[in-house]
């Protein structure tokens, strides 16, 4: 592999598996792994001059590319993956592209990729130094689009406060702190609290919240139950 790397580098599965039995003359120390679903990451910029993993145009972007209108030279990332066939699939003319692509990022976390579509073979500059081009045996195109992330339940929460506000915003509760059997507003905002109430356990804050709301003339549901159940903690 050039221009990228797999997050798990382990060629022991290749040596003791079907690949090692068939390709006995291959030096597996240069192999990344023999996983069917490898996780491939782009190389960082520091590897641009690495003679072993580089020597490939438009590689080593560290997973970041720019729109063509901003910088066309930084608008694509390339890596090369060499795959070997193992028995019983030894037909040279039967080429199958990698499927079930999944792209994970930092800013945009979710990408939905379609099925590979066969297109015209890609042309590459010749490596002989002559004005000639090389043609790929086959080329497939895979289109991936940013998908809307699913709404997940919060695993933690933070209480906010400011020096110019006497109240603090606690973690989200079930509107006014209601039990599953009570009727309330599930997506309602949490009631404001005095600062000292943050030191009290969640289930004992209802009285403090009601007293603070009456003192500061805040609107609140008077039908709130006596026990506060916190959903996000």
Farthest-apart Cα atoms in the chain, separation: 85
pLDDT digits 0-9 by tens, 72-131: 888 888 888 888 888 888 888 888 888 888 887 766 667 888 999 999 998 877 777 788
Q: Tokens for 172?
A: 């989200």
What does the alpha-carbon distance between residue 194 and residue 218 come to, in Å, rounded to a whole number? 12
This model's pTM is above 0.75: no
Cα separation of the two ends of the chain = 45
**What does residue 123 show for φ and ψ, rounded to 5 degrees?**
-100, 135
Tokens of 231: 């959903």
Tens digits of per-residue pLDDT, 157-206? 556 666 677 888 776 555 444 454 455 555 666 778 888 887 877 767 77
Output phi, psi for 43, to 5 deg.
-75, 150
Residue with the two structure tokens 């930084």: 74
The tens digit of pLDDT for each residue in 40-73 reads: 888 888 888 777 765 677 888 888 888 888 888 8
pLDDT in tens, 128-167: 778 888 888 899 999 988 877 666 554 555 566 666 778 8
Tokens for 162, please give them.
Answer: 């400011």
Neighbours of 99 (CB within 10 A): 10
What's the rounded Cα separation, in Å, for the pair 167 and 172? 15
Alpha-helical segments (H) within the chain: 12-15, 18-22, 206-216
- Strand boundaries in 49-148, DSSP class E: 111-113, 117-119, 123-125, 133-135, 139-141, 144-146
Q: Hunting for tokens 């006995």 — which residue is that? A: 24
- Tell me whether strands 123-125 and 144-146 are parallel, antiparallel or unpaired: unpaired
């Amino acid at each position: 592999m050039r221009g990228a790397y797999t997050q798990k580098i382990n060629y022991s599965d290749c040596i003791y598996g079907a690949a090692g039995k068939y390709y006995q003359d291959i030096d597996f120390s240069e192999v990344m792994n023999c996983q069917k679903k490898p996780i491939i990451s782009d190389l960082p910029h520091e590897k641009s001059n690495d003679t072993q993993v580089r020597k490939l145009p438009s590689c080593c972007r560290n997973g970041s590319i720019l729109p063509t209108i901003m910088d066309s030279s930084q608008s694509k990332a390339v890596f090369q993956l060499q795959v070997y066939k193992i028995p019983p699939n030894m037909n040279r003319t039967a080429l199958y592209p990698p499927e079930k692509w999944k792209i994970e990022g930092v800013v945009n976390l979710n990408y939905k990729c379609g099925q590979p579509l066969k297109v015209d073979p890609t042309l590459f500059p010749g490596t002989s130094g002559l004005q000639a081009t090389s043609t790929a045996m086959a080329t497939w195109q895979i289109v991936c689009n940013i998908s809307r992330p699913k709404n997940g339940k919060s695993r933690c929460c933070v209480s906010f406060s400011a020096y110019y506000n006497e109240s603090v915003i606690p973690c989200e509760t079930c509107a006014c702190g209601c039990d599953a059997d009570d009727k309330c507003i599930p997506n309602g905002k949490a009631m404001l609290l005095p600062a000292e109430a943050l030191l009290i356990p969640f289930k004992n804050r209802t009285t403090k919240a009601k007293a603070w709301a009456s003192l500061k003339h805040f609107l609140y549901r008077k039908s709130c139950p006596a026990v506060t159940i916190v959903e996000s903690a």
